[in-house]
Amino acid sequence: MCGRGRCTLRPEEVARACCVGNLTPYRPSYNVSPGQGEEGGGESSPVLVCMKWGLVPSFTKKTDKPDHYRMFNARSESIREKASFRRLIPKNRCLVAMEGFYEWKKDGSKKQPYYIYFKDGRPLVVYTFTILTTCSSSALQWLHDRMPVILGDKTSIDIWLNGSASEVDSVAGRPYEGPDLVWHPVTAAMGKPSFDGPECVKEIVKSAGGEQATLFSYFGRS
């Protein structure tokens, strides 16, 4: 999964999507990349806090510059095999709510970014910071072989936060197959972390003169 997502939700929308309370302000962004965000956490019960994307492992030396791209995602199939993640699973699980994420499709020598989101506009609930990934759903295999693990209902959210080890592994190991996950191509300018704003998610179609904004129908399944 490429390291880009959109999070412009109001705090109350994040809380509603993740079933948590005790709201904390954060800075909305259409183009979130590893290293962005704020430090937060430390609460004993689920609350909404600002966090920085990209795990910095505990063995990082104080003299080392943190590399947030080093562990910004992790394969759900192997998290219990790696010491950096295994020790965090019992008590450091969290939810990340965002409107959608971006993935790049190779197109000859170029790469075309796509924006993936729920058709009805509700937030995706993914996890964690490291974001867990799994194999792509049958509908998205053409774009990439990996996707973030998406929690599509309250039951899977509750299992992730409070379930047993076997239950947690179950929800973390399967792709979201719902027909309401849709996508469309967006501007190649998404590759720049400094590029931000509503233009990030505007649907485009290629023309002889380059990219052109359009209102053609979703590429996703109806």
DSSP 62-96: TTSPP-TTTTSEEEGGGGGGSHHHHTTTTT----E
Distance CA 20, CA 14 (A): 8
Mean pLDDT, to the nearest integer, of 22-51? 61
Buried b / exposed e over 180-194, threshold 16 CB at 10 Å, is ebbbbbbbbebeeee
Mean pLDDT, to the nearest integer, of 207-218? 48
DSSP 207: E
Q: Write down the pLDDT at residue 39.
A: 52
Upper half-sphere CA count for residue 131 (Cβ side, 13 Å): 30
Distance CA 141, CA 26 (A): 33
The set of catalytic residues is: 2, 103
Q: Does the structure show a pLDDT above 60 at 210? A: no
Is the CATH number of domain 5-56+65-213 3.90.1680.10? yes
The torsion angles phi and psi of 7, rounded to 5 degrees, stand at: -140, 90
- For residue range 43-83, what is the model confidence (pLDDT) as tens digits? 455 566 666 777 776 666 677 776 666 667 778 887 888 77
Q: Compute the mean pLDDT over every residue in the chain, rounded to the nearest whole number.
A: 77
- Name the band, by pLDDT with cuts 50, 70 and 90, for residue 107: confident
Burial class (CB in 10 A: 0-12, 13-18, 19+), 147: buried
The stretches of the chain forming alpha helices (DSSP H) are: 11-18, 83-86, 154-162, 165-172
DSSP strand pairing (210-213 vs 146-148): unpaired
For 15-151, list the strands marked E by DSSP: 29-32, 73-75, 96-98, 100-107, 110-118, 124-126, 131-135, 146-148
- Name the band, by pLDDT with cuts 50, 70 and 90, for residue 139: very high
The torsion angles phi and psi of 83, rounded to 5 degrees, stand at: -60, -35
Mean pLDDT, to the nearest integer, of 127-142? 84
**Percentage of the residues of the chain whose pLDDT score is greater than 70:** 73
Mean pLDDT, to the nearest integer, of 160-179? 88
Q: Does the structure show a pLDDT above 60 at 217? A: no
More confident residue, 182 or 220: 182
Q: Write down the pLDDT at residue 96.
A: 81
Domain residue extents for the chain: 5-56+65-213
Type of residue at 158 = D
